[in-house]
Amino acid sequence: MSTQADVKSIDTLAFVKTALAAFAHESGQAVSEIEIQSQRAVDWVTVDQAAYWKTEVRRAADQVNKAIKDLEHCRAFKKVGDNQPSCIEEKKTLEKARRRQEYTEQKAELVRRWSPVVQQQFREMCVRLVRFRGVIELDCPKAMARLDQMLRALDAYTSTAGPGATASTGGSSDGPSMTRASDEATPSTAQASPAAKTAPPSPPEGS
C-alpha cells in the first residue's frame, strides 16, 4: 500500500484548521444562547403565564361577584312601586364580567395543558444539544490536533527536502524524483571505467 501523501497546498490545511476553530467557537456560543433563550421561553410559559392567568381568573371572578351584587342592589333599591327596574347597565356589566371570566379560565387551562409539553420538548432539545456540544468540545479539538500534526510534519518535510521537492505540491515535480535522481547519479560498482583497464606489459630491453 502506498504511503505517499498527495498534498496540493499546505496553506489549505492551515485555512481548514482556522475555519474549524472558528466554527467550534461560534457554535459553542450559539448553543449556549439557544439554551438560555429556550429556558427563558419555558419559564415564561410554565411560570410567568401560569401565575398571570391564575391571577386573572381570580380577578375575573371578583368582577363577576361585584357585578352580581350591583345588579341585585339595582333591583332592590331602584324599584318604584310594582315596576321592576330594567338595570340595563348592571346587566351589561355582569355579562362582560362573565365573558372575561370564561376567557381567563380558558387561558389558564391552555397554560396547564401545554406546560408539560413545553417542558418535555425542552428536555429533548437539551439532549440533542448535549450531543452537538460533544462534537464541538471533543471532535473539533481532535480534528484540529490532527491537522496541526499534519502541518508540523509537512513543515519538517519541506525544511529537510532537497531542491527537487516542492512544498506547494508536496510530491512530484516535472523531473525525476529525488530518490531516482540520487540512484541514477551513483555509478555502478560492477561497471569499470575505460581508464581502469590494465595496459599490456612492455617487452624486455635488448629483445
pLDDT tens-place string over residues 35-93: 999 999 999 999 999 999 999 999 999 999 999 999 988 888 766 666 677 888 999 99
Question: Smallest Cα–Cα separation from 108: which of 38, 61, 39?
Answer: 61
pLDDT of residue 6: 66
Highest-confidence segment of 8-22, 116-130, 140-154, 179-193: 116-130
Q: Copy the grid coordinates of residue 206.
A: 635488448
- The pLDDT tens digits of the residues spanning 99-122 come to 999 999 999 999 999 999 999 999
Q: Per residue in 111-142, is it b (16+ CB within 10 Å) or e — as a string?
A: beeebeebeeebeeeeeebeeebeebeeebee
Q: What's the pLDDT band for 202 if we cut at 50, 70, 90?
A: low
- Cα–Cα distance between 137 and 32 in angstroms, integer? 13
Whether residue 34 has pLDDT greater than 80: yes
Whether residue 167 has pLDDT greater than 70: no
pLDDT of residue 159: 82
- Cα–Cα distance between 146 and 140 in angstroms, integer? 10
Q: What's the pLDDT band for 150 if we cut at 50, 70, 90?
A: confident
Task: Give the mean model confidence (pLDDT) for residues 120-125.
Answer: 94
Task: Give the mean model confidence (pLDDT) for residues 120-146.
Answer: 91
pLDDT of residue 13: 85
pLDDT of residue 111: 96
Q: Is the dihedral of CA 186, 188, 194, 197 positive or negative?
A: positive
pLDDT of residue 157: 82
Q: What is the chain's mean pLDDT, rounded?
A: 79
Answer with the residue of higher pLDDT: 25 or 162.
25
Residues forming beta bridges with residue 80, ordered by sequence position? 83
Q: Per residue in 56-85, is it b (16+ CB within 10 Å) or e — as a string?
A: bbeebeebbeebeebbeebeeeeeeeeeee
- The pLDDT tens digits of the residues spanning 9-23 come to 788 888 888 999 999
Contacts of 9 (CB under 8 A, 6+ apart): 168
- Cα–Cα distance between 161 and 164 in angstroms, integer? 8
Question: Quick check: 169 and 8 in contact, CB under 8 A?
Answer: yes
Whether residue 194 has pLDDT greater than 50: no
Q: Copy the grid coordinates of residue 76.
A: 332592590
Question: Smallest Cα–Cα separation from 19: which of 146, 144, 188?
Answer: 144
Q: Tell me, rounded to whole angstroms, the distance of Cα 147 from its chain centroid.
A: 21
